[in-house]
Amino acid sequence: MRSKRFWVGLRLGILFVLMLLIIAPDWPAFGDRGYQLDNIVHEDRRFDFLTWEMDAFETKARAVVGGSQDYLSAQERKEQVLAYLDDVGQAQSLQAGIDSVFSDPSVADPQAATADKQAELDALRDDLAQRQPTVEAIVQEQVSAVLADEGFDIAGSTFPPVLMNMTPLPYMLIVSPRDRIEQIDYATLVPDISTDEKDEMETAVYDDLDLSALVVPIGGLGIYPAMIRETSNINWLAEVVSHEWTHHWLAFRPLGVRYLQDRDMRTINETVASLVQQEIGPEVIARYYPEYVPPPVDDQEAVPLPQQEPEPPAFDYSAELSKTREHVDALLAEGKIDEAETYMEQRRQEFWDNGYQIRKINQAFFAFYGGYAAEPGGAAGQDPIGPMLREIRAASPSLHAFVEAVSRVTSFEDLQAVYRDVVGGDPAAALS
């Protein structure tokens, strides 16, 4: 009897293990990087996308049903948007003043000292919340109209529809190997995470996983509706809404589907979206907010008089960052990881001394910021993707033709083929 119970128990035990393997095949091994990263981040620090999406779609649905912007003239629409953004700036200023009082050790009772300002801020925030859906609907329609005129339309309407929500944005924990610059993992974090918590996670990733990590702020996120950081700047808002919509459009094409495939595909996606925003954003301003069109840049440099000493060149952030990236790449290629990390910290201090308060420069810093290569130089260094895409755009008959051509790209080799077709010649010439 005892022997029978033993074999029955053994069979049940084996069956239980098999059921676990079938039902939960995705359980990570304790040494798995994703499992260890989850332990470092903690669930309470992760951003809750599901709740945010439900709230955002509810807000958008109410705005569509209400359609209050439909009864406004073009002038009234502009006035409502600009008044709203002005009040956002006022709210941000009030919040900064309150935060300053709470940080002042000489204030014994900061809550009492800021009570009036807090009441004013609460009333302003309630008012902004009531106006936000209408203002967002106006900006969405303005961006959509410009996109449609550029050819991004189906039967006169853009698809997918332009949808965005101004909201506190999550932070991103970016993870890169130490021996090369490449984003290999990330975690999306709550908006109110403290600097101490950021440093704690970055240090834990370095110590426990032997990887480079950095918590970075973002200006927008291409989920749907797009998450856009609250701003009082209409120029910035028009560009970022255009940028995130480009990700929505690309999500239905091979390029967007492969966003997470590798470093090259992420860089191509982000650079294409940045090139679109550089054209659509300013056109939105020129059409609907012409008084906010930036003044033209004077290309004529002042020539110093013979008796004047020439001023030393100003610290060029983009050029210096590009130089830093290139030297780091060279050191890592030689296997000099510690030397590269020491160099990056030295350079960070130089940037700080020149007014650029960068908290940390490491491999993860370049893995994230190097993915945006629409402008020459910067964190991308000598990456050829930015120059190639800029030349393809310059040789394309329209913005729509450019985006259509690159939207079929599924690899760096595909991009090189598009370059040959549109620009002609050797893609290597893009860096010369």
CA distances to 242, 288, 345 from 324, in Å: 30, 40, 11
- Distance, CA of 231 to CA of 240 (rounded, Å): 11
Quickly list DSSP for 49-65: HHHHHHHHHHHHHHHHH
Give the CA radius of gyration of the chain: 26
Q: Does residue 397 sit in helix, strand or coil?
A: coil
pLDDT of residue 66: 64
pLDDT of residue 17: 47
Q: Which residue has the higher pLDDT, 148 or 27?
A: 148
Give the pLDDT confidence of 224-239 residue by residue, as tens digits: 899 999 999 999 999 9
pLDDT of residue 40: 87
- Distance, CA of 342 to CA of 340 (rounded, Å): 5
Mean per-residue pLDDT over the chain, rounded: 87
Residue 152 pLDDT level (bands cut at 50, 70, 90): very high
Q: Are 134 and 31 in contact (CB under 8 A)?
A: no
Q: Please name the residue that has the structure tokens 């053994």.
A: 10
Sheet with 226-228, edge to edge strand ranges: 164-166, 226-228, 220-221
Tell me what the mean pLDDT of segment 425-430 comes to: 74
pLDDT of residue 431: 60
124 pLDDT more than 90: yes
Tell me what the mean pLDDT of segment 56-68 comes to: 73
Amino acid (one-letter) located at 141: E
Mark 383-414 as b/e (b = at least 16 C-beta within 10 Å).
bbbbbbbbbbbeebeebbebbebbbebeebeb
pLDDT of residue 106: 86
Mark 2-25 as b/e (b = at least 16 C-beta within 10 Å).
eeeeeeeeeeeeeeeeeeeeeeee
Q: What is the largest CA-CA distance in the chain?
A: 110
Q: Are 332 and 344 in contact (CB under 8 A)?
A: no
Interacting residues of 357 by C-beta distance below 8 A, sequence separation 6+: none
A 10 A CB-CB count for 145 gives 19
Range with the poorest average pLDDT among 304-313, 315-324, 349-358 = 304-313
pLDDT of residue 24: 42
Range with the poorest average pLDDT among 108-112, 157-161, 219-223, 303-307 = 303-307
Q: Which residue has the higher pLDDT, 301 or 164?
A: 164
Polymer length in residues for the chain: 432
103 pLDDT more than 80: no
Q: Which residue has the higher pLDDT, 303 or 286?
A: 286
- Distance, CA of 110 to CA of 89 (rounded, Å): 23
Interacting residues of 116 by C-beta distance below 8 A, sequence separation 6+: none
Tell me what the mean pLDDT of segment 406-420 comes to: 96
Residue 26 pLDDT level (bands cut at 50, 70, 90): very low
pLDDT of residue 82: 97
Residue 314 pLDDT level (bands cut at 50, 70, 90): confident
Tell me what the mean pLDDT of segment 126-139 comes to: 93
pLDDT of residue 142: 97
Q: Are 367 and 379 in contact (CB under 8 A)?
A: no
- Distance, CA of 423 to CA of 146 (rounded, Å): 26
28 pLDDT more than 70: no
Quickly list DSSP for 368-388: HHTT--SSSSGGGTT-SHHHH
DSSP lists the bridge partners of residue 211 as 177
Q: Does residue 155 sit in helix, strand or coil?
A: coil
Residue 212 pLDDT level (bands cut at 50, 70, 90): very high
Q: Please name the residue that has the structure tokens 């030297």.
A: 327
pLDDT of residue 53: 86
- Distance, CA of 250 to CA of 225 (rounded, Å): 15
DSSP lists the bridge partners of residue 177 as 211
Q: Which residue has the higher pLDDT, 99 or 28?
A: 99
Query: What pTM value is reported for the model?
Result: 0.82
Residue 220 pLDDT level (bands cut at 50, 70, 90): confident
- Distance, CA of 187 to CA of 46 (rounded, Å): 7
Q: Which of 35, 64, 73, 402 is nearest to 249 (CA)?
A: 402
pLDDT-above-70 percentage for the chain: 87
